[in-house]
Each structure stands twice: as structure tokens, then as C-alpha cells.
Structure 1
Amino acid sequence: MEAPLRRIALCLQYDGAAFCGWQRQQNAPSVQATLEQVISGLDPQGPGRTVAAGRTDTGVHAAGQVVHFDSAGPIPAGRWAKALNGRLPSSIHVRAATEVPASWHACFSATYRRYRYTIHNSCSATLFLAPWTWHRYQRRLDEAAMGRALAAMLGEHDFSAFQRAGSSRAHGRTTMQEVQIDRQGDLITVELQASGFLYGMV
């Protein structure tokens, strides 16, 4: 008799520098494949497959990626974070784990996705900021003008013009829920929140 499956939700952080992105690829290391390998080692009777709220591209970091998987083993939900962190590489960290209903889905139950971009707007690059920022300086950027342009994107729109080729989506409509832009010295932070993002949109 097979053990009943329990659905476990995880909140992850990861440094994407060493990965080809979230989604597994045949010839490059991914966050998904790395996580699934560890889950399968801890729960060999379970399906071992993970589903994320959204995909990140090569080199992109995550502060709160939400993932679910189904477990057939005896590990209590609250112990999964510690069990995984003891076996995952230091570039991936499980912040929390909890059991959720079988009907809950990391992707389809999500109400928003949020992305943060940090621009280092200085004439000189800084070695210690390089892994976490995009250095850009043809001139000093006008964050007020950038904010006005972003504000026009609020609400539901057809963002097909921003979508990368190769998407399987039937339409390009999505709702931009919130935009924020802030400058602290030479660092400009842009945050975008939407019900969902098109492939390559941001």
C-alpha cells in the first residue's frame, strides 16, 4: 500500500550566479534540478518533482521563491527546511516549509509576483556591488522620469510588445499591480509587482 502524499510548500532564497535559472536544463545546472535531487534523497518514495510560483532566468537571484512538492515520507512539514538546508549547497537556502492542502498550487494559487532590479548609476563600477547590481552610466539617470514612465504601466494592459519570442501564452494581457522606484546615492531600486509576467517581459 502506497503512503498517502502530503503537499509541502517551501520558501526559498538562492544566489542564481551558478545556475542557468530555476527550470531544469539538460546541459546546465539549475535550481530546480539541484533541489529535486536533495528532496529525492530524503524522500525516495515520493514523486520528487517541484513546481515554482515563477521561473527565473540565468544568473537571477530569488529572495522569496515559493515552491511545492508532494512527499510520501515521514518527515514532518516543519522539519523539511532544516533537512534540506543540511544537504543543499550554500547558494540555496530554504527559509520556511509548511504543509498545504493538496489543491494548493505554487504557480496557480499565487496572487502576485514581484521583481526587484538594482541599478548602480555611478561613473565607476564597484567590485563588491557587481554580483547584485546592474552597472549603467552613460549619464545620471532621472529616476523621477523613470517613475512616471512606470506609472503608465499600472493596471491591466496588453504587454505583448514586451514578450520574448517563443511564449506559449494565448494572450499578452496581465495586470501590473504596483511599481516603485527609489534612489539612495548611486543605487536606483526598481520594484515591479504583477499578477503574472509574460516570458521575458521585465
Structure 2
Amino acid sequence: MMTAIAPPQSGQRLALLIQYQGTHFHGWQRQVGQRTVQEVIEQAIASVVNHPVSVVAAGRTDTGVHAAGQVAHVTVNSPIPAHRWPGILNARLPADVVIRAAAVVPNHWHARFSALWRRYRYTLYTDPCPNIFLRPWTWHYYYAPLDVEKMAAVLQPLLGRHHLSAFHRSGSNRAHSWVEVQAVSCQRRGALVEIEVQASG
């Protein structure tokens, strides 16, 4: 059972640009007894402002998923200027999380509901010989040749507006099930095949 933390009623709202390696996290969302990205960032901020905080992300990631530029917001009672927050927090965060930037935003701005798109990349490493430096960031697939042109072609029907209620969790309280897929691509870079999908949610 997760307990929601009420944000302060007044103060400045900060937008945070976050990067993390998800290997040793049980995803973004706070979970009892599990190490999560949300929890370690909230603990770092709370240690500075001396009050509980709730960090809201544009989207949640699953166990083991990395983020190059996750956007989140938090409301804090603190006079610290935005440009100082990355340095202050990075000194308190574990090595697998970095705050890359921070900015003051209006109090009505919301990382999830104000976001126009999210972009996801899936990377396959196709050389039969393993590469230890790529292992944390790729899926090692070498069992059969991959035809990147055909893969790119079959991605095209994903473009456009789709009703995705079949993918909801049981008991989901989402207001609607429509998602706009804005861009898809598949390309090869040497032994790497990169698939990217950009969508409204």
C-alpha cells in the first residue's frame, strides 16, 4: 500500500530534467520495500527543504528501464534558485541518478498533463560476440538476421490516433484511452538496431 505525500500548498514549482540508469531500480514509482527512482529523488529533495515532497513524472518506467531525459516536477518551500538545484541534488543522489537541469515553472504546470509527447528507444545489439559495455543498454539479439527496412515498414501502421483500452491495467482510472503515435523509426547503426516511438502518452 503506497501512501501519497501531500505537496506543500505554497512555494515554487520546479521542473526537473532527470537521467537515470534503471538497472538497479524497480522502476520509477514509489513502492514499499523497493528501491525506486521517485523515492531516492524525493529523499534527496526532502533532505534539503526539511519537508516531505512528492515528485511527479511525465511518465512511469518499469524495472530496469533507463531514462535519458525524464521530466518531472516538484513543489518546494525554498528560496534556492533553480539553477543551483542540479548541483545540490547530485551531491545527495546515488551514482545512477542525475538531475541535468531545473527550472521554475508556473504552479499550474504539470509534468504529466502538460507533456506533449514521450519518446522511447529500444536498442538491439546484433553481433554474435557479446559486448560488456553495451550489455546494460541493449537487448542482445543475434539468432537471425534482422531486415531493418521491413521492420521500419511494419512500424508505419502505428502512426496516428489509436484507442488502447485493451492495454489498461485492471481498475485504471484514466480519463480516456486515446493515444496519438506521432513518429516511428527503425535504423541500423553498425551492430545496433534502434527502434524509436514517439507518442502523446
- TM-score, structure 1 normalization: 0.90
Match of 1:82 in 2: 87
Look up the equivalent residue of 1:69 and give its one-letter code: V
Runs of at least 4 residues off by over 4 Å: none
CA distance in 2, matches of 1:72, 1:82: 18
* CA-to-aligned-CA distance 1:74-116 (integer Å, 9 cap, x gap): 2111211111011111111011001000010000000000001
Matched, 1:110 2:115: yes
1:71 is matched with 76
Residue 171 of structure 1 and its aligned partner are, at CA, apart by 4.6
Partners in 1 of 2:152 and 2:118 — Cα distance?
A: 19
Structure-1 residue corresponding to 2:185? 180
Matches within 5 A, 1:26-175: 26-45=32-51, 47-161=52-166, 163=167, 165-166=169-170, 168=172, 169=174, 171-175=176-180
**Percentage identity across aligned positions?**
49
Distance 2:82 2:26 in 1: 29
Q: Letter of the 2:158 partner, please give it.
A: M
Residue 171 to residue 138, structure 1, CA distance change in 2 (3 Å)? farther
Structure 2: give runs of 5+ residues left out of the alignment. 1-7
Q: What is the Cα deviation at residue 153 of structure 1?
A: 0.6
Deviations 1:7-45 (A, max 9, x none): 011000001111001101112100000000010010114
Cα RMSD, aligned residues only: 1.7
Does the C-alpha gap of structure 1 residues 170 and 8 become closer, same or farther in structure 2, counting only changes over 3 Å?
closer
Structure 1 residue 160, shift from structure 2 partner: 4.1
Distance 2:22 2:177 in 1: 27
Q: In the superposition, relative to structure 1, how do residues 4 and 165 fare at CA in structure 2: closer, same or farther (>3 Å)?
A: closer
Q: Aligned letter for 1:137?
A: Y
| TM-score for the superposition, normalised by structure 2 | 0.90
SS across alignment from 1:152: helix
